[in-house]
Structure 1
């Protein structure tokens, strides 16, 4: 294994995270994750609950990053408005919405019994 190549790839991945962090929706999801983590620390979650939350947070943020990548590629491939380009962007955004709504439901299932 070429160690330099490995670390260069890691650097590209970090650049991707920093690029995505400039997007408004990414920042919203990241802020939501921070709030959930603080709530989890104050609530005293079990290891299993933390595992679930970490997976859910990672899926939502990862989905948002994939959505951003799809939007960028579609904008590059189709700078003018095209119905298929719109569909691709809408479907990718819809996937993020599915993850986000599911994560809220999972969060409620974890936190509400502990709070009430």
Structure 2
């Protein structure tokens, strides 16, 4: 067995470094991922300012960003396996993009339900 114990801090940090490299690559190369990161930062900031529940906003942001990373990974694998246009490659890429779209729409719904009432209160002149 290489790399030591599964509970090794060194092994964990090495794996985390690989994961962080994936995040950096996606942020640099994927415009939608950048937009979603900034939307998540805005949603989380608004959550803090309004004193709204953090968990649902945090989880929906993590879901959208995670699915965008999987979409990026799937696109790379499909491009590697099928550099030429192929109908099944299109299906795979479209389905992965659809997963991100559905999660994003769900995140908007969660944001409206969780952040809507306190935001309306502030807009009507109340304090958060």
Same fold (TM over 0.5): yes
Q: Which structure 1 segments of 5+ residues have no match?
A: none
Aligned residue number for residue 59 of structure 1: 63
Superposed displacement of residue 37, structure 1: 1.5
Aligned residue number for residue 16 of structure 2: 10
Superposed displacement of residue 93, structure 1: 0.1
Q: Which structure 2 segments of 5+ residues have no match?
A: 121-128
| TM-score of the superposed pair, with normalisation by structure 1 | 0.92
| TM-score of the superposed pair, with normalisation by structure 2 | 0.83
- Runs of at least 4 residues of structure 1 off by over 3 A? none
Query: Superposition pairs for residues 1-116 of structure 1, below 5 Å?
Result: 1=5, 2-22=8-28, 23-45=30-52, 49-116=53-120
Output the CA distance in 1 between the equivalents of 2:9 and 2:117.
48
Superposed displacement of residue 94, structure 1: 0.2
Q: SS of the residue aligned with 1:66?
A: helix
Output the CA distance in 2 between the equivalents of 1:9 and 1:37.
27
TM-aligned CA distance change 1:93 to 1:3, over 3 Å? same
* Structure of larger gyration radius: 2
Superposed displacement of residue 6, structure 1: 2.8
More helix by share: 1
Output the CA distance in 1 between the equivalents of 2:10 and 2:47.
38
Output the CA distance in 2 between the equivalents of 1:15 and 1:66.
14
RMSD: 1.1
